[in-house]
Structure 1
Amino acid sequence: MCIKLKSKHSGFVLYEAVVSLMITIMTLGILQQSLQILHNVQKTTFRDQLRWHITQEKLQELLGKSKITGAFGNRLFYKDENDKTKAIKMLGNYGRAILAIENADNRGYEPMMTNLNDINIEKKDKLVIITTENKAGQTSQMCLINDP
């Protein structure tokens, strides 16, 4: 025996339509966020990331073995314990657009990073925090440990 139920209405119920619409909107929102993340990752090139890591390793090598004598503004003064001349060197912004290492007597400098908008150097105990902003407006922060 077969029973057939006949419905007066065919189609979706209102709450089914609302739920499916909400699921569609949530899916589109997640897709939009994913595309924004992908766009930001593509703007940061591999070359920039490699340059940043090389700079961080070189600064850690220089400052890790040195004694910091003072920090004034956006400049950090340090003395290399292995250097026979015992000259005081300075890490800071050279002309605002370059992070550089220079002798304290202003006789030349070695550029570490270029094409920067802003550089901020601060010292907290044995930690040196260098915050930079590049021309694209991206902010990066380097934390170096100073333990001579």
Structure 2
Amino acid sequence: MFIKSKNNRSGFVLYEAIVALLVAILTLGVLQQALQLMKTIQNTTFNDQLRWHITQDKIQKTLDDAYEIREVGKNKIVYTEKELREGYHHGFVFEVYQSGFENYMLRKTTATVGGHEPILTGQKEINIEKISNLVIITTVNKAGEKSEMILTLNDKK
């Protein structure tokens, strides 16, 4: 036996439609925030990696052009650079410089004249070590991520 109700309707009631619309809007808002976050992370990661590779390439090129590596210590690399005039060499240093509390930079300075060129800034920690003909520069950034830059030394005399 079937009971037939008087209220035989098809479709949504107004409040059901409003609730469905609110759920859809909330879902789209969460999705939009997630996409913006992913885009920011992707751009930041790409920019950091690009900056890191350019820095490594610049330091490697400088060391390849060096006339003689004089010293590699925990906080510096001392070398002389070739000049256009024969027999005339300038001394340069890649050194770790602390410019504030847990704010280190790797910079290039001249051995005698003064001045500096920042190479890598805003690091929590930077260490330089030499193993055989390799120089390993280890950095820790503000987020606590550790990275290593491995450079080769060509001893030319």
Q: TM-score range by the shorter chain?
A: 0.5 to 0.7
Kept after mapping to 1: 8 A contact 2:73/2:128: no
Q: CA deviation at 1:65?
A: 2.2
What secondary structure, in the 3-state scheme, does the structure 1 residue paired with 2:78 have?
Answer: strand
Q: Which has the larger radius of gyration?
A: 2
Indicate the residue corresponding to 1:131 in structure 2: 138
Code of the aligned partner of 1:75 = K
Kept after mapping to 2: 8 A contact 1:102/1:109: yes
TM-score normalised by the chain length of structure 2 = 0.62
Kept after mapping to 1: 8 A contact 2:96/2:107: yes
Matches for 1:1-148 after TM superposition, within 5 Å: 42=41, 45-66=45-66, 67-82=68-83, 84=85, 85-95=88-98, 97-105=104-112, 107-147=114-154, 148=156
Q: CA deviation at 1:45?
A: 1.7
Name segments (4+ residues, structure 1) moved above 6 Å.
none
Percent identity of paired positions between Structure 1 and Structure 2: 40
Query: What are structure 2's unaligned runs of at least 5 residues?
Result: 1-37
Mapped partners of 1:123, 1:74: distance in 2: 11
Mapped partners of 1:68, 1:90: distance in 2: 10
Q: CA deviation at 1:77?
A: 0.4
Mapped partners of 1:83, 1:76: distance in 2: 22
Code of the aligned partner of 1:60 = Q
Mapped partners of 2:113, 2:144: distance in 1: 30
Kept after mapping to 2: 8 A contact 1:131/1:139: yes
Kept after mapping to 2: 8 A contact 1:65/1:146: no
Query: What are structure 1's unaligned runs of at least 5 residues?
Result: 1-38
Code of the aligned partner of 2:78 = F
What secondary structure, in the 3-state scheme, does the structure 2 residue paired with 1:114 have?
Answer: strand
Kept after mapping to 2: 8 A contact 1:99/1:114: yes
What secondary structure, in the 3-state scheme, does the structure 1 residue paired with 2:89 have?
Answer: coil
